[in-house]
Amino acid sequence: MADGSLSLRKSPCVRINCAACAAGEGHRSYVLYGRRGGERFSVYVPQELVPDIQTALENGRRFKDLISMAGERYIHALKNDRRLRSE
């Protein structure tokens, strides 16, 4: 599971006479962006790991949805229990 967003970015390199940069193509790479303790972070993701990271992000989103649903059900159960005790 992972949290954050995976982005494809295009940026210039450090080589002085790079043909791709001179042509305006730049260099494509994936980056995982996220937050840790209120601080933003970014991590380079090699091309061959992109499918695994995408799956981890999808699983993280599903997990968050399940946690939200569990919280909502818990609140409803508490309110129902409270109502039954007061009758």
Q: What is the pLDDT of residues 10-28, one digit of tens each?
A: 888 888 888 888 888 888 8
The number of folded domains in the chain is 1
Residues contacting residue 53 through CB under 8 Å, at least 6 positions apart = 2, 6, 30, 32, 45
Who wins on pLDDT, 77 or 21? 77
pLDDT for the residue 13: 82
More reliable by pLDDT, 14 or 55: 55
| 87 vs 51, higher pLDDT | 51
Give the range of the structural domain holding residue 36, as residue numbers without chain letter: 5-86
Residue 71: both structure tokens together: 């919280």
- pLDDT value at 82 more than 90: yes
Reported for 6-14, long-range contacts at CB under 8 A and 24+ positions apart, including other chains, are 6/30, 6/31, 6/32, 6/33, 6/45, 6/50, 6/53, 6/54, 6/57, 7/31, 7/33
